[in-house]
Each structure stands twice: as C-alpha cells, then as structure tokens.
Amino acid sequence: MGKHLVVFQPSGRRGDFDAGTTLMDAARSLGVDIETICGTKHTCGQCKVQVQEGEFAREGIASSMEHVSPLNPDEVKFLKRVKEPNMRLACVAEVQGDVVVFIPERSRAGRQVVRKAAKELTVPVAPAVKKYYVELVPPTLHDTLGDAERMLDALRDVYGLDKLVIDSSVLRELSKRLREGEWKVTVTVWRGTDVQRVEPGFVDEIYGIAVDVGTTTVAAYLTDLKTAKVLATESMMNPQVRYGEDVMSRIAYTLEKEDGRELLFATIRDGLNQIFANLATNQHLDKEDISEVVLVGNTAMHHLFLDLDVDYLGKAPFPPVIHHSVDVKARDLGFTALHPATNVHVLPNEAGFVGADNVGVLLAEEPYHQDENLLIIDIGTNGEIIMGNRNKLISSSCATGPAFEGAHIKFGMRAAPGAIEKVRISQGGADVTCQLIAPANRREVIKAKGICGSGIIDAIGEMFRSGVLMRNGRFAKDLKTPRLRNGPDGPEYVLLWADETDLGVDITIVQADVRALQLAKGAMYSACKLMMNRLGITQVDRVILAGAFGSYIDKVQALTIGLFPDCPLEKVYAVGNAAGDGARIALVNAAKRDEADWVAREVEYVELTVEPDFERAFMEAMHFPHMKDKFPNLEAALGRAV
Amino acid sequence: MGKHLVVFQPSGRRGDFDAGTTLMDAARSLGVDIETICGTKHTCGQCKVQVQEGEFAREGIASSMEHVSPLNPDEVKFLKRVKEPNMRLACVAEVQGDVVVFIPERSRAGRQVVRKAAKELTVPVAPAVKKYYVELVPPTLHDTLGDAERMLDALRDVYGLDKLVIDSSVLRELSKRLREGEWKVTVTVWRGTDVQRVEPGFVDEIYGIAVDVGTTTVAAYLTDLKTAKVLATESMMNPQVRYGEDVMSRIAYTLEKEDGRELLFATIRDGLNQIFANLATNQHLDKEDISEVVLVGNTAMHHLFLDLDVDYLGKAPFPPVIHHSVDVKARDLGFTALHPATNVHVLPNEAGFVGADNVGVLLAEEPYHQDENLLIIDIGTNGEIIMGNRNKLISSSCATGPAFEGAHIKFGMRAAPGAIEKVRISQGGADVTCQLIAPANRREVIKAKGICGSGIIDAIGEMFRSGVLMRNGRFAKDLKTPRLRNGPDGPEYVLLWADETDLGVDITIVQADVRALQLAKGAMYSACKLMMNRLGITQVDRVILAGAFGSYIDKVQALTIGLFPDCPLEKVYAVGNAAGDGARIALVNAAKRDEADWVAREVEYVELTVEPDFERAFMEAMHFPHMKDKFPNLEAALGRAV
C-alpha cells in the first residue's frame, strides 16, 4: 500500500500518509488543529470536516469520495443534521487515496487570533442615517389625509425635510407603526431623503456596522452612531476560502464552474448575514436596529459580495466593473439579517487591483492632505501600495502571494495559538529562540505547531543576519551547525527540534520557503522602487504599514530582508486594520464618502508590469540588501527581549 | 335527502339542488357557463372548478370538502398537474351539501367581453424612460477605467447626463453586455437618472405597459413609447374576485384571515405577471423590453397590489396609507415577468375611497383646465364622483354595490354572450323586446342567459316608464298582463319566457332587484346633489360617464331612473375606460405624473355620510323621478332601434 497525499484547507498544509491513517491523525502530524472533546472516541462529534470532491487542478491532486473510508455507523448520528455535503468525522474517516479536506471554522481548535482590533476615530460624528421624532395629529372624518402625507408633512414642518421618499418596505408597515406609537413616532432618514424605518415612540439609539471583507478574514464593527464607539467586534475567516485561498484562485473558480460566481456570492452573503445576526444578538438588538452598513474589500471581494462579474478582473487590462461607491438596499444583496430597506454603502475602488479596502486606508491616513511623501503598504494576500502626497498620489498592487500569511510555507500556519511569531538566531546560526502566539494563561504549556506570517519574516531576516542565508537567498555552504542540513526537500534549517514542538518533528525553513518569501518581498520592493521613479523621488518620508499583518511584523526585520525601500526606523508606522478604520470613518461621517469617491478617482493607478524596468527591478529586488548600509546599530535595534 | 345551496363565484349565482346533482348541471340550470368540449363525458378535462372550503360568512353558508362527492378516478389524470387546491371536474363532482364553487377564468365558457378598449391619446410623447446609444473606447493597460465609469463618462459627454446611477441588477450584467456589444451599447435611462438596462448595439424600440386594475376587470395596454400607440390589449377578471366581489368584502377578508393581505397581494401579483408575460410574448418581446409600467386602481386595489395595509381603509375615517404617486422597482413588487430594475409608477390616490384610477380619469378629462362645471362619474363596483372646474374640484365616493355589474340580481350576469343588454317595454308592460350581447356570427342562435348591468338599468327604466313600476319602486297593482305576477320571491315581472331563454326558466325582475338598483342609484344621485350643494351650484354643465359600464348604459334610461342629476342629453358623454386612458397618458408623458400628484392633492375629498342632509337626500333619491319634468320627448329620445 502506497502513500497518499492529504491536503488540509484552508491552511494548505499537506503531507503523505499511509492508507488507513485517520484524517485526525494526519491533521495532528501536520500541526493542523481539529476540535475534539472526546479525544477521538467517536462520541463528541466535534471534529466534522468536509471531504472535497473533484479535480483540484490548482493543488495538482484529484479527490473523490472513494479516497476516504466508507461512512461508519458511529458518524451517522452526528452528521444527519449537517447541511453541507460530504461531511465526515475526522477521527473516524481514514485515508484511502489522495484527498483534500476542508476544516470548517467551527471545527478548528485553534481559532484564529483576531488581530483586527478597532482604534478610536477622530472624525466628526455625522452619519448618513439620522433619527427624527414627530408627533402627529390623528386623522378624523374631517381630516382624512393619508398616513404617509401626515408623517411627511410633520417632518417637513418640524425639520425642514422636504425631499423625503418612503421605502416600499416601510410603507407596508407604516399604518401599523403610526398607530402602535399612538401617532408619535421616530423616523430613520438616510441622507436626508430616504425614509428607511418608522418606530413607535421616541427612540434615540442608532447603530451601524462597518465591515472589512478581507480575502482571508472578515472583520465587522458594530458601531454606536451617536458616539462612533465600537460596541462589539465580530470576525470570521472569509468563508470563500474553501473555493480558493487568494483572489486569483477565486476568480479562476468562477471561470471554471458555471455557478461559481453565484456560489461565491452566496457564501460571503451567508457569512455576512451570520456576522450581522451575531453582532445584533450579542448586543440585544433587533435586526431593524442596524441602520446602515458600510463594506470595504479589495476589488475582487467587492465584486464578489456585490455579485458583480469578476471575469475581467482576472484578464488584462483588468478593469473593475465600477469604481464609484455603491449604495444598495440590504434586500438587493440578500442581507436577510438586516431590515430590507437598510442602506449598504460600499466604498469606491481605485482600480482592478486596488480596491475599496485601500480607499478605506486612504480615508484613515489621508495622504492627500499631507506635505510629506507617504508610502502606504497594505499587506494582505495581495500587496497594495499608495505613494505620494497632496500634489500627486499613485497606487499599484503586487502579487505577493500568500507567503506573508503563512500559506505555501512548509510549516506555515495562520496566526493562531502555537504559531512561531518571533525568532532570534545567534550569529553563525547555532542557537535559536522562538516566541509563540499563546493565550497568557497557557504560555508555559503551549508548544510550537508552525510558523505564522510575521514569524517567517522574522526567521528569514534572522537567518540572513546570522549568516545562515546568503544575499541571493541560498543557504551558506560552510556553516558548521547541525541545524543546517540536507533534508528530503534539499537544504533546510531547523528552527525547533522535534521535542520542542507539538508536532513530534523538527520545524524547519526549507529552500522553497526562502524562495517564496524572496518572490513576495521582491514584488513588493520593486513595486515601491518603480513608483518612486514614477514620482521622481529617491526617498519616502514616511512608511505606513496597514493591514493586520503590517502590525505584527518586526519593522527592523522587514527592512533587513528589504520588504520596502529604506526609511528611518522611527518613520515606519504600523496602523493596524486601516481598511476597517476607513469603513468605520465612512460609517460615522457621510461627507467622508464623497471624499472617498473623489480620492479614488484622483489616485492614478500604475500598472507596473508594463513599466520598461519592471523585470530588472524585480530580479534585483529578489536579493537581500547589503546589511552594513542598512543598520550600523542593528544589534541595538533588535535588542528587545524575545 | 334535502336540498343544498350551491353558489357559483365570481358571478354570485345561486340555487338549491338535490344531493347528487353534478356541479355542471347545477351551473347550467343557473345560466352559469362552464367550458366543456366532450359534453360531460369526463374526457376533456376543461370543466375544472374549485370547491372553496371554510366558512363563507358573507354568503351565509359553510362549505367543506365533504359537501361534494369524493374524488373519482376519472378526474385524477386531469387534476394531478393542477396547482390550485380542491380542484374538481364540474361534470363529475356531485352536490352533497351547501357548497361554494369558484369557476377559474380559463374554465368559463362565456369569456367576458372586454369592453375596455383603448382610444387614441393626444398628449405629447415624452415618456419617463429614454434610450441612449453610445460607442465606447475599449480599455487598455494604459486606460483601465472601470466599465461603469467608461459608460457613464460617455453618456455625460455625449448627452449631458451627469446624474446617472446604475441599478444594482444592471451592474451585475454590465461587463458582459458591453463586451457583447463590442463596446457599442444602448442604455435605457429612467427620468434622466436611473440606468435600468444596457443592451448590446443600437436599439430604437421602447415599450411600456399601462394597467387599470379594476375591482372586477384588469385591463392592460402594451404601448409603443415612441408613438403612444397601443400595440396590444390584454384583460382578465381580477383574480382577487374569489376572495370577495367588491372592495369592502376584500378588505374584510384581510381582516378575517391572518394571511389574507398576503394572499390578495400574491393573487393580483400573479395575475399581473401573467398579463405582462402574455403581452410580451404575443408581441414577440422579451420581458426586458418592457421599459416601464404604470398602474392605476381604486385605493383598495392600489393598496392590495402594493402590498399595503388596507385595515384602515375599511374603518372611519378611512385614510389611505399614501396619496402621493409611488415609484417602485419591479423586483420589489414581485413582478418576475418584468426586468427587476424596471420602474413601476403608480398614480396617486385622492382619498380613501377615491383612488389612482380616478386620478387617471382626471388626467384624461382635465376638469382642472375647464371653465364649465363638470360632473365626472366613474361607475364601477364603487361609484367615484368628481365635480367642479378650474376654480375648485371636489370628489366623493358612494357605495353603489355590485348591482350595476349584474351581481346580486336574481338573473344578473357579467357582460358576456347571452346577456340581455337592452330592453324595450310597451306602455302597460305587455310586450318586451330584448337585445342580447352576441358575437356577430352567432346573433341568430344565441339565447338569453341573464341580464348584465346596462340591461338592468334598461329594464328597470323601461318598467318604470311603461307603468310596471311606481315612483317608489313598487310594482303597479292594477296592471293586467301575465308578465306581472307573484313568484316565489314576491311580485316579479317576466322579461323573457322560458322558451325564449337558454335556461329553460322565465327570466324575471324581482322586487329585490328593483330595490338593489334603487339603493345604488339613490346613493349615486344623492352624492351628486350633496356635492352640488357644497359647490353652491344648481346645475352641472357637463356629465362625463367614465368606466366601461358608463359607455354601455343608455344615457336616457340613466336619466329616467335618476342615476345622476338632470343635464341636457347632449351634454352627457361616455368616455370609456378613462382610468386606463389616464394610466396611458402618464405612461407616455412623464410630466403628466407631476400634474397628477398636484391635482390629487388639490381635489378636496368630501365625506358625504357626515353631511347633515345625507340621510334625507339619500331617502329622497331612492324614488324614481317625475317623468314629465324630465323628457317631454322621451319616446323620441328612446326611439333608436333595439
């Protein structure tokens, strides 16, 4: 009996296993955590996973139901109420062929650490939705004016609102609401024109939700629209990951599958409905209490949650369907967890590869109001770059691939408990110290399961600094340490020995991992350089790292490996989830939406792959930079405790 | 075995039958025509009827499935694909108890004669929707502007359209349409702001549909929006009739049944979808080719097709939910037979009992531009009255009941083949001549089945003129003719003897029929009189009879029985379906919609039941007028050939 390839999604971890290995054992040996309470005794049903069927061209393997053992009677009682097809218990199902296994969010033991926290906003609170209280004179036989006009006349007389239109869904319940409130009602008006809700009596509370739909993570902020305070945050892995980890593979999915676009739309729609419902329920609100939603996302996510055509986003010259911001009723997006008349505002896109999330970053950082030349890098699965100041702003994007997120790295994993997030290596490479992501109360007991994105930059930066790696990314040949060795995949460097890990195997960085990082950082660095050429500048005044990942990478290591052009260390800032901040800004201040539409058209998108110097710049940027030029006091800069 | 009451809907015909009588036989003996091809041999399946279950409080009888014989194997093959519940073949199912039977439109042998034909309009052609052709420059790597902006920029540059918003459903297919048309497209724009459709290539044709949703009849006009010409007319009985013949009984239905409003909405929505689909299909158009729809209806119909609350329309002080015109997307009304982005414009209501159909009449007749004092009467199941001129317009409504439509009259029937539509009676009542509704090629063979609304006015006018009836509506006591006799329901007058009819029984006018007409005409006449008092006038200059019924009644007979106040005969006009004309006017000329909104608020609604003189005026108006005062030359006026 041969070995079979097993790939776990969404992490992308893979390994070869003997036929008969349970999916649970396979997962464990790869550091993929699957929830279990009973300890594989087949009694808790927590370890539900989905065996994905069909050809997985991108993965290079085919999978089918016969590639796992037949359904066992033990599983049936746990699976009979499950709606998704091809679900199995990981502790029961055994490998019988090459197989791709998807682990749903609820079955993941190490839930993702939500790194998209909300910072305080300084923007004036002036949302698009506003509530107005009116007291009406009830109709009589001598005054039979219709309910709508009775209310609209009062709103005009008291508040000067003379352009109001009542949404059809509000009209349907208007008569009841007026009488429930004994002709005293609170009316929610959007942008001074659209009546979106009528509530009996006086109501002061008003809420909205800002959502950053990332390729990997969706983060939503329930916001008090009187104070701009975030009352609750909810996040989930973007449920579309099962159809592709990155933007391009999801676009490819819509092209390959006839109902692909429909499926991707339905998937994120359902996910967002769940988030909306959770946020409302947890705050004891009704769904009608959510008065507006603002969404951002990169252009592909934007198109997919609006159910737009992504066909041409994936083909040169990559035009988006629309740049301008979109206002659409919740019902027209299938947002059943909201009142049907609730407005959903979607920030504008800059270009095919620079989306509404990046406009969110612009709103949050306002480079268009600065004298200094800013370099804003939003590092996600795609890298999006803005450069310039009040005189001129250009943007571009580069395909960094998922390496920065820990995917396609041999021991890569998400930023979850057990992930190596910081690394220090002694000169010559003999000693390694690793810091793990761990809840405060479990620091002592937790052992390493893999390396997350920021850990990879740390590890490779340290390997280069300590001499394990050469400038061209190859391993040093003459280093005398058992950590540097020839493994099954060529030369590799051992970060942690088997007994220091939770996996029972050595955690290593292999040559392919270094190459993946070189490609990613080369793409980013060369893009920045070409943009500087475009603007005719040799230096940027400030570097802003946006995105959750940007907050966690070590600025020194980022400069060590040459992730972006040189800049004084104190001028490099991490601003967290600036896209989400931008969404919140647009949620609490309607005027900022006009600013967003303006700036989205002002920013000039530069397609770098057609620049004459593109290839040369990219090849050069693959190398690691000369150390000495960079940090005369590197040891001091890195001197913080690990 | 006793007799059982059988009521056929929508005609309301009823009779007592022995247990074991087939529904077909019961129907025939009442003159209710049910389609059959096989002649009750159980082989054609044409005679499908619906046995209605539950309490029929309004009808005073209860019905249940056990009140008809069990399902026979013969019926199964014809009924298995039928979606409606409780369908039976009339030639098989036998009476076993009191039962209400609904005959669907498709099973009615004598299809209603569509009397709502379209007249030519004189209004300028300037519809709300317009098509614009643009040729775009395709995107390149140096010009990656989004598809939407590319199109909008061209529309702005070429046509000055700078406030366009693209409907979300159009955005979803925009990229494909642009490429199908090789960047040459025709864009449908509503009121200069809303992009509702993008078609590949150059398209010149543009169509709309105007619909008059009557309580009894729905009439729709497919209109060429370049010429205002009606290309096709489609009509059907309002499918809501199964839930009540008149407005009040439908409102009552929504109050009695929890899902009543939902059901009534779904019923008319489905009916309208069928009409839209038929009109498009018959003209070889796609549903997307219908660029706009304008709807009118009385206030109750208006509320029911917009899915608004009718609870308060049925309770004093009867305010409507909304007066103002409504624009709503087809998708928000469940009009799946239209493109989801198609606008549906609904004309405004004047008051709780004077609806958008009446505003249609106003648009068609423009009393607000006249010096003469007009009396406009729209005679349907409800009577709606407008009076006045450019200085002041008042409106009111009166509950005429369904007598004018032939319902609740012993031998009443719809205006269908076999209905008596004109009657002449010799002085003293001995001789009667009747004219029947009949297709031209069947005049010789068709025999009478009942009396339609205009026939009833004719018959009772003639009975009064000839001395059969006294001014108070009672039968003359001393008349020597076998036609006047005592029947099972009291005194009655024989119009046709059994052998002259298709029923095999004498067709008579009974005292209750006269009373029903007196109530209806008394309500109408007294309303007009009270309105004249209000305006301080003693005479109206012109009387306009709107509505299909108004076109078919004999003006002289209407004055004979005192349907409305005296007016020189040559000043009484029938204008046909003016409500439908108004809908067509608003469809082809958008500016007329603003005029409609203005006039709907200008017209003062007068609630007559609270006028101090109401009761006295009504009692007086029940009597027939003095003949001699009225027509010195009556015989000449009636002298047209029957």
Partner-chain contact A326 B607, CB within 8 Å: no
SS3 assignment, position B625: coil
Partner-chain contact A148 B322, CB within 8 Å: yes
Complete DSSP assignment for A408-443: TSTTB--S-TTEEEEEEE-TTS--EEEEE---GGGT
Q: Which of A318, A323, A326 sits opposite B149 (nearest CB)?
A: A323
Report whether A79 contacts A104 (CB < 8 A): no
Same fold, A3-107 and A370-401+524-634: no
Encoded amino acid at A543, one letter: V
Closest-approach residue (CA) in chain A for B145: A319
Q: In what order do the strands lie in the sheet with B129-135?
A: B129-135, B184-190, B194-200, B165-166
Encoded amino acid at B123, one letter: V
Which chain A residues contact residue B148 at CB under 8 A?
321-324
pLDDT in tens, A122-151: 889 999 999 999 999 999 988 889 999 999
Partner-chain contact A174 B321, CB within 8 Å: yes
Residue B246 has pLDDT above 80, yes or no: no
pLDDT in tens, B169-208: 999 999 999 999 999 999 999 999 999 999 999 999 999 9
Distance from CA of A318 to the nearest CA of B (A): 7
**What is the distance between the alpha carbons of residues B584 and B299, in angstroms, rounded to a whole number?**
18
Please give the pLDDT value at position A314.
83
**What is the distance between the alpha carbons of residues B609 and B114, in angstroms, rounded to a whole number?**
34
Write down the mean pLDDT value for chain A.
87
Picking from A236, A200, A244, A260, the residue whose alpha carbon sits closest to that of residue A59 is A244
Please give the pLDDT value at position A74.
81
Predicted ipTM > 0.95: no
Closest-approach residue (CA) in chain A for B606: A142
Mean pLDDT calculated for residue range B147-169: 96
Which chain A residues contact residue B142 at CB under 8 A?
317, 607, 610
Residue A440 has pLDDT above 60, yes or no: yes
Among A164, A307, A312, pick the best mutation site for testing chain B contact (most B Cβ within 10 A): A312
Which chain A residues contact residue B295 at CB under 8 A?
none
Q: Which pLDDT band holds residue A217 (cuts at 50, 70, 90)?
A: confident
Distance from CA of A223 to the nearest CA of B (A): 26
pLDDT in tens, B354-402: 888 889 889 988 999 999 999 999 887 678 899 999 999 999 988 776 6
Distance from CA of A518 to the nearest CA of B (A): 27
Close Cβ partners of A162 (under 8 Å, ≥ 6 residues apart)? A156
Instruction: Name the more confident of B53 and A117.
Output: B53
Which chain B residues contact residue A173 at CB under 8 A?
309
pLDDT in tens, B120-140: 778 899 999 999 999 999 999
Among A137, A171, A173, pick the best mutation site for testing chain B contact (most B Cβ within 10 A): A171
Which chain A residues contact residue B351 at CB under 8 A?
144
Query: Domain-by-domain residue ranges, chain B?
Result: 3-107, 129-200, 208-356, 370-401+524-634, 403-516
Q: How many A×B Cβ pairs under 8 Å?
A: 138
Distance from CA of A591 to the nearest CA of B (A): 18
Q: In what order do the strands lie in the sheet with A184-190?
A: A129-135, A184-190, A194-200, A165-166
pLDDT in tens, B76-112: 877 877 777 888 999 899 998 888 888 877 777 554 4
Residue A635 has pLDDT above 80, yes or no: no
Please give the pLDDT value at position A58.
42
| Domain B370-401+524-634 is found in CATH 2.60.40 | no
**Of the spans A27-31, A230-234, B289-293, B547-551, which averages the highest pLDDT?**
B289-293
Instruction: Name the more confident of B414 and A476.
Output: A476
Residue A178 has pLDDT above 70, yes or no: yes
Q: Which of A148, A309, A607 sits opposite B321 (nearest CB)?
A: A148
Residue A642 has pLDDT above 50, yes or no: no
pLDDT in tens, B574-609: 888 889 999 999 999 999 999 999 999 999 988 888
Distance from CA of A289 to the nearest CA of B (A): 22
Partner-chain contact A322 B166, CB within 8 Å: yes
Report the range of poorest mean pLDDT among A9-23, A149-163, A197-211, A398-412. Answer: A398-412
Partner-chain contact A324 B144, CB within 8 Å: no
Please give the pLDDT value at position A630.
53
Instruction: Tell the CATH superfamily of the A3-107 domain.
Output: Beta-grasp domain (3.10.20.30)
CA distances from A255 to A247, A310, A523, B499 (A): 13, 9, 26, 75
CATH class label, A129-200: alpha beta
Please give the pLDDT value at position A113.
43
Instruction: Name the more confident of B519 and A61.
Output: B519
Mean pLDDT calculated for residue range A154-180: 96
Write down the mean pLDDT value for chain B.
87
Report the range of poorest mean pLDDT among A6-15, A228-237, A570-579, B55-64. Answer: B55-64
Q: What is the CATH number of domain B208-356?
A: 3.30.420.480
Residue A59 has pLDDT above 60, yes or no: no
Report whether B167 contacts B196 (CB < 8 A): yes
Mean pLDDT calculated for residue range A105-133: 73
**Of the spans B26-30, B414-418, B429-433, which averages the highest pLDDT?**
B429-433
Picking from B549, B607, B84, B602, the residue whose alpha carbon sits closest to that of residue B390 is B602
Q: Label the pairing between strands A230-237 and B217-224.
A: unpaired
Q: Which of A144, A306, A319 sits opposite B139 (nearest CB)?
A: A319
Please give the pLDDT value at position B13.
77
Partner-chain contact A147 B324, CB within 8 Å: no
Residue A57 has pLDDT above 50, yes or no: no
Partner-chain contact A147 B321, CB within 8 Å: yes
Which chain A residues contact residue B150 at CB under 8 A?
319
Partner-chain contact A323 B148, CB within 8 Å: yes
Which chain B residues contact residue A328 at CB under 8 A?
168
Closest-approach residue (CA) in chain B for A312: B175
Structure tokens that stand for B424 in this block: 């002449």
**CA atoms within 13 Å, Cβ hemisphere of B417:** 17
Please give the pLDDT value at position A62.
62
Partner-chain contact B147 A312, CB within 8 Å: yes
Q: Which pLDDT band holds residue B59 (cuts at 50, 70, 90)?
A: very low
Distance from CA of B304 to the nearest CA of A (A): 10
Distance from CA of A352 to the nearest CA of B (A): 8
Which chain B residues contact residue A145 at CB under 8 A?
319, 323
Residue B485 has pLDDT above 80, yes or no: yes
Report whether B306 contacts B328 (CB < 8 A): yes
Which chain A residues contact residue B320 at CB under 8 A?
146-147
Partner-chain contact B147 A322, CB within 8 Å: yes
Instruction: Name the more confident of B247 and A149.
Output: A149
Distance from CA of B396 to the nearest CA of A (A): 12
Report the range of poorest mean pLDDT among A175-184, A294-303, B6-15, B477-486. Answer: B6-15
Among A147, A318, A611, pick the best mutation site for testing chain B contact (most B Cβ within 10 A): A147
Close Cβ partners of A80 (under 8 Å, ≥ 6 residues apart)? none
Partner-chain contact A319 B172, CB within 8 Å: no
Distance from CA of A371 to the nearest CA of B (A): 28
DSSP A94: B
Q: Which pLDDT band holds residue B489 (cuts at 50, 70, 90)?
A: confident
Report whether B221 contacts B227 (CB < 8 A): no
Residue A115 has pLDDT above 50, yes or no: no
Partner-chain contact B148 A175, CB within 8 Å: no
Question: Could you give the dihedral angle defined by the CA atoms of residues A136, A142, A148 and A150, in that order, rounded to the nearest 10 degrees?
Answer: -30
Structure tokens that stand for B16 in this block: 């007592």
**What is the distance between the alpha carbons of residues A384 and A271, in angstroms, rounded to a whole number?**
25
3-class SS letters over B335-365: CCCCCCCCEEEECCCCCCCCCHHHHHHHHHH
Please give the pLDDT value at position B115.
43
Partner-chain contact A309 B175, CB within 8 Å: yes
Closest-approach residue (CA) in chain A for B179: A312
Residue B552 has pLDDT above 90, yes or no: no
pLDDT in tens, A415-426: 778 889 999 999
